[in-house]
Amino acid sequence: MGKPAIFEHILRTCVESGALLGDRIRMNAIHSPRVYMRSLATRHSRSELSPAIRDAISVVKAAGFDLVIVETSGIGQGDAAITEVCDVSMYVMTSEFGAPTQLEKIDMIDYADLIAINKFERKGSEDAKRQVQKQYQRSHQLFDRDLSEMPVYGTIASQFNDPGTNTLFVALVDTINRKTGTNWKTNLKTVANVEKHNVIIPNERRYYLREIAETVRSYHRRAEQQVEVARRLFQIEGAIEAAKERDEAEDVIRALETLKADYEAKLTPESKRILATWEETKAKYAAKTFVTKVRDKEIVTEPLFCFFRQICSINPDNLFIMNGMYSTCIHLFHYIEGEC
């Protein structure tokens, strides 16, 4: 493989006057006599290709470039003009194509020699690959071959030395050799499965922080609802006691008892347990030590205000002043002085 030439297309809108291509701006290592690259605007061709692309290909071929790569602008469902100017066509897509029926409308699946599903680390990419393989099999009438033999590859282009991209490159070289009679070779290894390496958060736990936050918010909402129910229940119980003290009519007391039962039914079993053992819980936290049992092992914890007192007793004037907490901690020290 001697001299590659690259043509990349970009759509030209009514406010643009040229072909400003982000990829070209980022390529800082193509200054070589062996490489030629140019960006082309589609202008008013109403196509994914520039009207000048055929002439451009002829020029670079005459100049001795033996591999010409043409990248189209973003194409829609019915754009397949690239197949008219190339020997080997490859369609690059992602897993976000919607319902599997949408694949029926993509012409390039019918014409492409290779299909790459990029950003393969995203959730659902494996399912997307299987759907594209099935569509390719139907489009090319390859029912006598297994789905794994369809030329559909998962890639993670953002990953250095990505095994999926390497596998796609090997398949691309083989396809070029088969269709054009070249004898190019590569030593890259191929893989069956593509995975993201060195990930901080695995893909299946991509939204776990959001799920944790939603769980906590849901818990607080339920707790606030239960607090309101318990508060109303306490008020009703007080009203019943006051009614009995004043010898109110039985109908009034009976109505209050019915209302109390309605609110009691709104309490969850956990809330009822907490209310029933509230005095006991308060006594445990007010003790000198708090004992919890985990897997039959007792853990003795000193209450927080006793811990603060021990810290403050070291030297409260010097300990907290550098953290901007002097005033707060001095007040806290005086407050807990009589607690422990």
Dihedral sign of CA atoms 103, 105, 106, 111 in order: positive
Are 141 and 120 spatial neighbours (Cβ–Cβ below 8 Å)? no
Q: Is 18 exposed, middle or buried (0-12, 13-18, 19+ CB in 10 A)?
A: exposed
At 266-277, the pLDDT tens digits run 999 999 998 888
Q: What is the pTM of this model?
A: 0.56
Looking at residue 236, its pLDDT comes to: 92
At 3-60, the pLDDT tens digits run 887 877 766 655 555 555 566 666 666 677 788 887 777 766 566 777 778 888 888 8
Dihedral sign of CA atoms 280, 282, 287, 290 in order: positive
At 61-95, the pLDDT tens digits run 888 888 888 888 766 655 677 778 888 888 888 88
DSSP string computed for 6-32:
EEEEE---TT--S---HHHHH--S--S
Of 73-87, 126-140, 257-271, minimum mean pLDDT range: 73-87
Of 77-81, 128-132, 293-297, minimum mean pLDDT range: 77-81
Strands laid side by side in the 90-93 sheet: 90-93, 114-117, 152-154
Looking at residue 248, its pLDDT comes to: 80
